[in-house]
Amino acid sequence: MKDEQGRYIYLNKFDESHFNRRQGDLRGKTDFELWPLYVAEQLWKNDQTVLKAGSAIEVVEEMPNPKGGITYWWTCKFPFKDASAKRYVGGIGIDITDWKQAEAALQESEEKYRNLVELAPEPIVVHRRGDVVYANPSCVAFFGAEKREDLVGKPVLQFVHPDDHEVFRKRNREMTEKGTTVPLRSERFVNLDGQVVDVEVVATPIMYENLPSVMVLFRDITERKRAEEAFQRYAKNLGLLHRDLEISNREANLYLDILTHDIGNTENVSNLYADLLIESLDGEAAGYAKKLQRSVQKSIEILGTVSTIRRIHRTKTELKPTDLDAAVRGVMSDYPTSIFLYNGANYQVQADDLLPVVFDNLIGNAIKFGGADVEIAIRIEEDDGFVRVSVEDTGPGIPDDDK
């Protein structure tokens, strides 16, 4: 599975062992980093076809074999999305190198071709005029027969699910009219015991015993179909879970908004009453009132920090041209009694609305921990397409043992 940029996000254990590559090493890389250029280009082209069409395709792809040579993969590539609607390309490949070799052998020698077909691990059957005329050992075993003769001579439709008879007839018409191979498609076969089996089928016209016939290659995909159905159920449940989490998140944010707003109002009122107390009290009582006010102000500061953090997490970052000098001077104006060393700078930078919050934290901390007489130097320098802002102060700093 890959994302829209062609970066791998998942491969199964077979892929890891066959191509001798680990998922952890592969994740985040593209085909152009892993394969020769001609291989990467064909994979990229096929992936883009899937994304543009928004539907599955079936293609044959060439891949280097780690043990040497080339392997051919009959691949079904399909688009899918995650819960956030991000698009991906998935691929399920069938190694058809043996089939390719079988085709080449057929051109060289009918006898060599027959031997390869006989030894092929995939079921192969040949039919002519509606009757089975050949079945390889894998096909005999697939349909639960004891010997080849249990299949040869019987109507081929006997082994096709009744609901797929029209699909079978259409496939034969296409081959008769075009004389070409019919692409991979899913059907249902019925073995001699009446068991229905999901298969992927490809058919091609051939000459068998010097007569026009049809060769059918197929593979049992029952387990894969079950896995796909389980995956679909999982994706559906994941979508429901995501929806519930979004609802819970919205409710939690609503409660936090109400709490932050109401507590903030209450603390502002408490701060005003503390002012009145300080003005009306003397001596030790006034000292207690000032400590009370500092606690209230600290609480207001904490609420402001929480609101900023929530804003960072809830706001989608949108960079836009920002006057850096105005952002810095805006924060400096909040501290009119402090000593600043700043010569200004004329830079338009790409930043979001939280940039002043950064400067406010840096300058505010310098004043808070540096004392009333602290001097703060703000320098702005261009650095290879970026702008470096330094905030330095004459305060005591942090002891090395505490860093």
Q: Are the C-beta atoms of residues 202 and 216 closer than 8 Å to each other? A: yes
For 194, residues 6+ apart whose C-beta sits below 8 A from its C-beta are none
Q: What is the pLDDT of residue 63?
A: 86
Sheet holding 211-220, edge to edge: 131-135, 124-128, 211-220, 196-208, 182-190
> How many whole angstroms separate alpha carbon 290 and alpha carbon 224?
73
Query: What is the SS3 assignment for 50?
Result: helix
Q: What is the pLDDT of residue 109?
A: 60
> How many whole angstroms separate alpha carbon 160 and alpha carbon 149?
18
Each of the 403 residues of the chain gets a pLDDT tens digit; together they read 999 999 998 888 887 777 777 777 788 899 999 889 999 999 999 999 999 999 999 999 998 887 888 889 999 999 999 999 999 999 999 999 888 887 776 666 666 667 778 888 889 999 998 899 999 999 999 999 999 999 999 999 999 999 989 888 888 888 878 878 877 888 899 999 899 999 988 888 888 888 888 999 998 888 888 888 888 888 888 888 888 888 888 888 788 888 887 888 888 888 888 888 888 888 888 888 888 888 888 888 888 888 877 777 776 778 899 999 999 999 999 888 899 999 888 899 999 888 888 998 899 889 888 887 899 999 999 888 899 999 999 998 888 888 8
Q: What is the pLDDT of residue 110?
A: 63
> How many whole angstroms separate alpha carbon 65 and alpha carbon 42?
16
Q: What is the pLDDT of residue 87?
A: 94
